[in-house]
């Protein structure tokens, strides 16, 4: 097992290097909008645009050979020196660090709630197939997967903020973290994100659990008088948890990272999604790359955690070269 885990960690490191290398190449071959703006301003002021451009490239080290720039870039990445955000006048890592807590305030509760309820509803639906509860759960899953997050968020925002006034219209960044006022601001984002996450997890959990509901070892356990709860948790949920773990890491991570752009823009949350969206709109290259790299690293770490979870959940997995 130790060799398997070390091999997966090594692959995670390789994947991180590939992501960083591709990011460097994109930055290297992408035209620098800040340089173009400086040269335009210099031309209007009657200065030499070429001299301004040469001074700019010398200051940032862009006049160095590509391999020298690459080594310096990798060193900066490891030291968390991800560049300077011109639009926010602060380091990229500082801007990201200020935005992450706002994203975590609705993402963490959504993940916890959707993980518990999604798996629980899926298991109930599988063990009570073709009942009213199963039909209701299936309808809920299709509804949650079909409805667009941004549209559902706008509807809830208009209803509870604009018409009823139960939720503040403008997001208040001065509210205390653990306060009723701050909780009211995050209720609607949590509901929107949780709905789609529960629906996805419920659908996968039901499909995986159905493979074991009528399995021979489950019938044998029932014939021996094993209780329903033990049959569900030990004989159905445990073997089904291996593929479900894939969904928990991959699908949930994708839903949260993608939906954060839509949810935060709709509700005005100054989180990572809004930060990335504004960086794209303002053509802040360093900040865009920083907000893209972070989800990429989270995905790599999530896949690594998923592979390690396999070794714990299913002892039948072989760790050799075969």
> What is the radius of gyration, based on Cα positions, of the chain?
25
Closest of 87, 140, 152, 112 to residue 282, by C-alpha:
87
C-alpha distances out from residue 87 to 76, 94, 187, Å: 20, 13, 30
According to the model, what pLDDT value does residue 320 have? 56
Burial of 58 from C-beta contacts in 10 A (0-12 / 13-18 / 19+): exposed
Domains of the chain: 31-81 (no CATH), 95-313 (1.10.3720.10)
**DSSP three-state, residue 229:** helix
d(CA 289, CA 32): 13
Q: Would you state the structure tokens that stand for residue 95, as one six-digit string?
A: 């801007």
pLDDT tens, residue order, the chain (322 aa): 677 778 888 888 888 889 888 888 887 887 777 777 788 888 888 878 888 888 888 887 788 888 888 998 888 888 888 888 878 889 999 999 988 888 888 888 888 888 888 888 988 888 888 889 889 988 888 888 788 887 888 888 888 888 888 887 778 777 666 667 777 788 888 888 888 788 888 888 888 888 888 888 888 888 888 888 888 888 888 888 777 776 676 666 666 667 777 888 888 888 888 888 888 888 787 888 888 888 888 878 877 777 777 777 666 666 554 4
pTM: 0.76
SS3 for 91?
Answer: strand
């Amino acid at each position: 097992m130790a060799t398997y885990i070390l091999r997966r960690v090594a692959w995670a490191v390789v994947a991180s290097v590939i992501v960083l290398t591709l990011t460097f190449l994109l930055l290297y071959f992408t035209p620098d909008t800040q340089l173009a703006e400086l040269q335009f301003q210099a031309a209007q002021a009657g200065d030499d645009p070429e001299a301004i451009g040469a001074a700019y490239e010398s200051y940032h080290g862009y006049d160095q050979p590509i391999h020298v720039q690459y080594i310096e870039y990798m060193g900066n990445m490891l030291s968390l020196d991800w560049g300077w955000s011109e639009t926010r006048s602060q380091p990229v890592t500082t801007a990201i660090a200020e935005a992450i807590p706002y994203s975590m305030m609705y993402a963490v509760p959504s993940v916890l709630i959707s993980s518990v309820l999604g798996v629980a509803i899926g298991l109930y639906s599988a063990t009570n197939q073709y009942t009213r509860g199963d039909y209701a759960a299936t309808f809920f899953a299709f509804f949650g997967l079909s409805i667009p997050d941004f549209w559902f968020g706008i509807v809830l925002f208009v209803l509870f903020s604009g018409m009823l006034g139960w939720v503040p219209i403008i997001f208040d960044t001065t509210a205390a973290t653990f306060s009723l006022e701050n909780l009211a601001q995050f209720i609607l984002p949590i509901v929107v994100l949780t709905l789609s996450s529960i629906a996805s997890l419920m659908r996968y959990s039901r499909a995986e659990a159905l493979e074991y509901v009528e399995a021979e070892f489950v019938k044998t356990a029932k014939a021996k008088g094993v209780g329903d709860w033990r049959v569900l948790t030990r004989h159905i949920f445990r073997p089904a948890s291996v593929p479900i773990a894939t969904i928990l890491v991959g699908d949930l991570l994708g839903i949260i990272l993608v939906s954060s752009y839509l949810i935060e823009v709709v509700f005005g949350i100054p989180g990572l999604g809004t930060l990335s969206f504004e960086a794209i709109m303002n053509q802040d290259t360093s900040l865009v790359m920083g907000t893209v790299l972070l989800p990429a690293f989270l995905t790599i770490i999530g896949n690594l955690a998923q592979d390690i979870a396999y070794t714990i959940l299913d002892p039948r997995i072989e760790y050799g070269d075969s």
